[in-house]
Structure 1
Amino acid sequence: MRVALYARYSSDHQRDASIEDQLRLCRAHAEKQGWTIVDSYTDRAVSGASLLRPGIQELMQDAQRGKFSIILAEAMDRLSRDQEDIAGLFKRMKFADVRIITLSEGDVTHLHIGLKGTMNALFLKDLADKTHRGLRGRIEAGKSGGGLCYGYDVVRQVDARGEPLRGDRTINATEAAVVRRIFADYNAGHSSRTIAMRLNADGIPGPLGNDWGPSTIHGNAQRGTGILNNDLYIGRLVWNRLRYLKDPDTGKRVSRVNPTDEWVMQDVPELRIIDQELWDAVKTRQRSLAFSTGSKSDNPMRERSRPVYLLSGLVRCGCCGGGYSKISADLLGCSNARYKGTCDNRLNIRRDALEASVLSGLRTHLMEPELFKEFCQEFTREVNRLRMERSADLVARQQELERINRDLDRAIDAIFGGVPPGKLKDRMTRLEARREELTALLVDAKEPPPLLHPNMAETYRDRLARLSETLSGTGVRNEAAERIRALISAVVLTPEGRDGLTITLKGDLAAILAFAADKKNATAHPERGVLQSFLSQASLVAGAGFEPAAFRL
């Protein structure tokens, strides 16, 4: 029996040796059962509330490939504490014909999944409730509920028994002066962008040592984020303003605003930095400048909306690495130069001119007649050869499996005909083992993709020649734009001279350009064994492996 071991611990506060302890116990059990350990998988300091863990993901992938037939862990909660995840894991392993065995529960069955899965989920909820209750007690005692905001330092002290006292803070005089300056400047009529630029120009580090940005200052008044919205600066500790949930699809924590009657407020006058009059004046100015906008969380469809323009979110500054954003209806400019003052690149570019330059460059570099024709011919031959080899391997395995089935049938007929079974035992054992191996290979095997048509170059050239026309049409614009964006990771604009900007593409599309320009022979591809390029009805899509990943237009 081939077995894989899995171990996990969930917190940085736990010992790293916990992994080795779990694996040691599992190894001892496997040796006692006479099982062969083929591999071990671990996740260190990762919560069991989600399956988005590298160790468990690799375990599941190898199980689907038939690498082992048993998963051995210390307990079910090491695999997952989420009801949905543990049930899904069990279902997938059942499909892959892989048993789950733990030292605590033994051979895991549907009954274990139902009962222990519920118990583990309740454990997480109970732990969260106890943590929440403990934090509330600390808040009501005037201590920190976790995290340290700008303007304060942690007070490190111990009690009479030498145990650390946690949750006490004191005002950081240097940072408090910066906070007062921000409030005073904002009250004097300066925007958060101007304040951020001045702080960066004076070399004053922001929270966590980062540059100051407008959002760091104005934040979100409803959520209490940002310097201007921190109630602690007026000696009022507000807790439980937000609650955090884990997105089941991404595993990331997202925040939601709690009703105001659930907020916990505690006066801590010794931590006041801003006087009440200045605070009230700033709040009045904030309300006068506020305008109503729905948050992304209020409208989930906004998070899935398509980019408005072809290169939205992809344009970067070649000087500072920051993004290029709209500074007017048609102009793009460096965000760091405009909003933070940390970049000297003041050159702007029209959005339509940038898109036209990129598309023109693509047409020019992807349509060099002789080079592209030769490359496509060689590329088509090489890809078709590899695909025919894959097809031949698949057919050969299917034919061998059919031959083994016939041999086994003849052996059974021979036994019924009077041949002693002992003479055929070894032969039948080898045939059965090979049949299982071939069956597993054929189950995982994918049908080889169709061969590329010899006229790929002409079809591609026709599509490319009408690239601008395609992108301007309403029918396929979104689909065509998405395919182009998927091949571009960034469009870098670097100043050249006083008034010029150099455009550099980064990503798979840039690599295709460089590959087509530098290597006419497709067999020179660094990963020629896994070429996955094919011509779809609308575009040429390239697989991984192209280098380099930048191309200057």
Structure 2
Amino acid sequence: MERHFGEAKAKAVFSDAALSGSTMSRPGLTALLEAAENRDIDLIVAEGLDRISRSLSDIASIYELLQHYGVKVWTAHEGEVSDLHVGFKGTMNALYLRDMKDKVRRAHRAIATAGRATSSVAYGYRAVRGVVDERGKYVNGLREVDPNQAVIVRRIFEEFTSGIPVRQIVQSLNDEGVPSPGGGLWRTAAISGEASRFRGILYNDLYRGLLVYNRTHRVMDPRTGRKKYVVNPIGDWVKVPVPELRIVSDGLWSKAQKIIGERRRNRSVSNKASVRRHKVPVKGAQNVRPLTGLVKCGWCGGIKNLANSTRYVCVTHRFEKKCKNSRGWREDRLASVFLAELSNFIASVDDWNAMFSGGIERELRERRELEKEAAALELRIARLLDAIEHGVKVDYNRLTELQERRDYILALPPVPKAGVSTTTIKRHLVRAVDVIGYEWGNRKYAASIRMLLHLITDKIVCTPIKDKRTGEHVEIMFKPPAQWLQFYMRVHADWPYVGKTSSGEVIKRPAPARSVLRNTYLAVPGD
């Protein structure tokens, strides 16, 4: 570096130790791109292009962004990086990554065929260290039964096949202080696991003396970078008998799998009936509730989620039985209290204008830059579409990415004008609360309402009332008013009608049955 650039000192060092170069979801890379966007750097130095990314599409995207920001790239292997390097070396790096994956899979298959494990140590076993082969190399993947943990595994299978619910098994293990596979408290997922991925003690074939490899493989969505597991065809599975690792008998194993299969079939029939009856399945109902993730237990600090789609109860009590708080709040009652406190909080702030002024100026500056970016994206998209019309082969994934980025910028909520009076801001916030209450049970707005409430709410703590058998105190903690700007901006974009007729007349109508404000009216003031 000194030979090419003199004694220039690095302004910052970005690294992503032990993270795959095939993904964009890396904190170091994200920080580097932010520094480039902010014009904090003008040159990036790396050992090679593969240190920045091994993905062909990602390295092209990164290089294009850096070119836009006026940042050059120099590597020890390629020198100053050009379009040719990105195309050629990016392809070679992607091929190297694919070849390396194939080699790792072949090596793992050979290890599994030899009866050795290719994954972490399962509960009930311990790793065997210090064994060497005829060439003097250490042999990895050897396992032996852990006698103490094996007793717990057999106990789980015996209690499960005798009809004891998994939740009760978990509670008894926690009450006795038995460490879980992770060393903490037992959870139902550790035992019943995930059937689609064969995870959980009840699904582990190793306990019956059978090592199974290549059941699933991991794939990554190139658009989001998210990874998921896909089940391989049964013909691709590698099954190797390892009788020395057996913990449960074939009879006990078969009985457990029969019970699991029957419950799965019954659950499937029940879900189908539920879909026919309710049109939508009730599973995961809490995921569309506005307060999900905000309600906390005042005793253990854990999350409170909806049970049976009606009451917020402590998750730690429900699944681990380590919290004694069995009390809960009906969703409609808690929502009414929350909305009332929200209105009171809005009214209690004396100067909303001062709270928002600095944020509005910052948003306006950032929005001007984004509008320039959107205009540039529009030109690039137009050029790509023109190339397609003329028969030129283009990267359709890249075109989609550009369109998604443009659409994201254009969909951002408008920035309010600076200098808006506190009275006007309060009126708009109160109007938003009215609409939230009116649309509370409407699934069309469920995700939007939930996002908005998370922007302004820190947490809702429900603590049992002392010396009483029922009831909980509710403490609602909102975020500081200065952090409400995004909420203020988004309510206009999410509900453009906000309850007025075309002539500006105020709408006053009773809330429908789905509203939690059953005995109130939606009174929307005019501008």
- For the residues of structure 2 that align with 1:453 and 1:125, how far apart are their CA atoms? 56
Given that residues 480 and 538 in structure 1 are in contact (C-alpha distance below 8 angstroms), is that contact kept between their aligned partners in structure 2? no
Given that residues 470 and 477 in structure 1 are in contact (C-alpha distance below 8 angstroms), is that contact kept between their aligned partners in structure 2? no
- For the residues of structure 2 that align with 1:315 and 1:36, how far apart are their CA atoms? 49
Question: 2:92 matched to which residue of 1?
Answer: 119
> Is 1:110 the equivalent of 2:97?
no
Question: 1:200 matched to which residue of 2?
Answer: 174
> Is 1:538 the equivalent of 2:513?
no
- For the residues of structure 1 that align with 2:237 and 2:225, how far apart are their CA atoms? 26
- For the residues of structure 1 that align with 2:28 and 2:329, how far apart are their CA atoms? 46
- Residue 111 of structure 1, CA deviation: 1.7
Instruction: Give the direction of change, closer, same or farther, for the CA distance of 1:359–1:535 in structure 2 (3 Å limit).
Output: closer
Question: 1:434 matched to which residue of 2?
Answer: none
What is the one-letter code of the residue matched to 2:20?
Answer: S
Given that residues 470 and 480 in structure 1 are in contact (C-alpha distance below 8 angstroms), is that contact kept between their aligned partners in structure 2? no
Question: 1:492 matched to which residue of 2?
Answer: 461
- Unaligned 5+ runs, structure 1: 1-25, 295-301, 395-446, 516-524, 542-553
Question: 1:57 matched to which residue of 2?
Answer: 30
- For the residues of structure 1 that align with 2:256 and 2:352, how far apart are their CA atoms? 65
> Is 1:154 the equivalent of 2:127?
yes
What is the one-letter code of the residue matched to 2:352?
Answer: C
- Residue 351 of structure 1, CA deviation: 1.3
What is the one-letter code of the residue matched to 2:428?
Answer: Y
- For the residues of structure 1 that align with 2:487 and 2:197, how far apart are their CA atoms? 48
Given that residues 352 and 425 in structure 2 are in contact (C-alpha distance below 8 angstroms), is that contact kept between their aligned partners in structure 1? yes
- Unaligned 5+ runs, structure 2: 273-281, 369-413, 495-527
Question: 1:451 matched to which residue of 2?
Answer: 418
> Is 1:361 the equivalent of 2:328?
no
Question: 2:407 matched to which residue of 1?
Answer: none
Equivalent residues in 2 for 1:265-414, closer than 5 Å: 265-290=239-264, 291-292=267-268, 307-368=287-348, 372=349, 374-376=350-352, 378-379=354-355, 383=358, 387=361
- Residue 535 of structure 1, CA deviation: 4.2
Structure 1 segments (4+ residues) deviating >6 Å: 302-306
* Structure 1 residues 406-439: Cα deviation after superposition (integer angstroms, max 9, x where no partner): xxxxxxxxxxxxxxxxxxxxxxxxxxxxxxxxxx
Instruction: Give the direction of change, closer, same or farther, for the CA distance of 1:473–1:308 in structure 2 (3 Å limit).
Output: closer
- For the residues of structure 2 that align with 1:367 and 1:331, how far apart are their CA atoms? 29
Instruction: Give the direction of change, closer, same or farther, for the CA distance of 1:457–1:103 in structure 2 (3 Å limit).
Output: closer
TM-score by length of 1: 0.70
Question: 2:141 matched to which residue of 1?
Answer: 167
> Is 1:463 the equivalent of 2:437?
no
SS at 2:100's partner residue?
A: helix
Equivalent residues in 2 for 1:178-197, closer than 5 Å: 178-197=152-171
Question: 1:545 matched to which residue of 2?
Answer: none
- For the residues of structure 2 that align with 1:185 and 1:473, how far apart are their CA atoms? 41
SS at 2:292's partner residue?
A: coil
Given that residues 323 and 336 in structure 1 are in contact (C-alpha distance below 8 angstroms), is that contact kept between their aligned partners in structure 2? yes
- For the residues of structure 1 that align with 2:243 and 2:213, how far apart are their CA atoms? 16
Instruction: Give the direction of change, closer, same or farther, for the CA distance of 1:222–1:539 in structure 2 (3 Å limit).
Output: closer
What is the one-letter code of the residue matched to 2:351?
Answer: F
SS at 1:367's partner residue?
A: helix
SS at 2:324's partner residue?
A: coil
SS at 1:208's partner residue?
A: coil
SS at 1:256's partner residue?
A: strand
SS at 2:45's partner residue?
A: strand
- For the residues of structure 2 that align with 1:270 and 1:264, how far apart are their CA atoms? 18
> Is 1:131 the equivalent of 2:104?
yes
- For the residues of structure 2 that align with 1:465 and 1:106, how far apart are their CA atoms? 58
What is the one-letter code of the residue matched to 1:344?
Answer: K
What is the one-letter code of the residue matched to 1:496?
Answer: I
Question: 1:224 matched to which residue of 2?
Answer: 198
Given candidates 192, 210, 213, the residue that maps to 1:239 is: 213
Instruction: Give the direction of change, closer, same or farther, for the CA distance of 1:303–1:333 in structure 2 (3 Å limit).
Output: closer
Instruction: Give the direction of change, closer, same or farther, for the CA distance of 1:127–1:505 in structure 2 (3 Å limit).
Output: farther
Question: 1:502 matched to which residue of 2?
Answer: 473
Given that residues 439 and 445 in structure 2 are in contact (C-alpha distance below 8 angstroms), is that contact kept between their aligned partners in structure 1? yes
Given that residues 339 and 433 in structure 2 are in contact (C-alpha distance below 8 angstroms), is that contact kept between their aligned partners in structure 1? no
Given that residues 463 and 539 in structure 1 are in contact (C-alpha distance below 8 angstroms), is that contact kept between their aligned partners in structure 2? no
Question: 2:451 matched to which residue of 1?
Answer: 482
SS at 2:16's partner residue?
A: strand
Which range moved further: 486-495 or 447-456?
447-456
Given that residues 237 and 265 in structure 1 are in contact (C-alpha distance below 8 angstroms), is that contact kept between their aligned partners in structure 2? yes
TM-score by length of 2: 0.73
- Residue 287 of structure 1, CA deviation: 1.2
What is the one-letter code of the residue matched to 2:144?
Answer: T
Given that residues 315 and 323 in structure 1 are in contact (C-alpha distance below 8 angstroms), is that contact kept between their aligned partners in structure 2? yes
Q: Percent identity?
A: 30
- Residue 173 of structure 1, CA deviation: 0.6
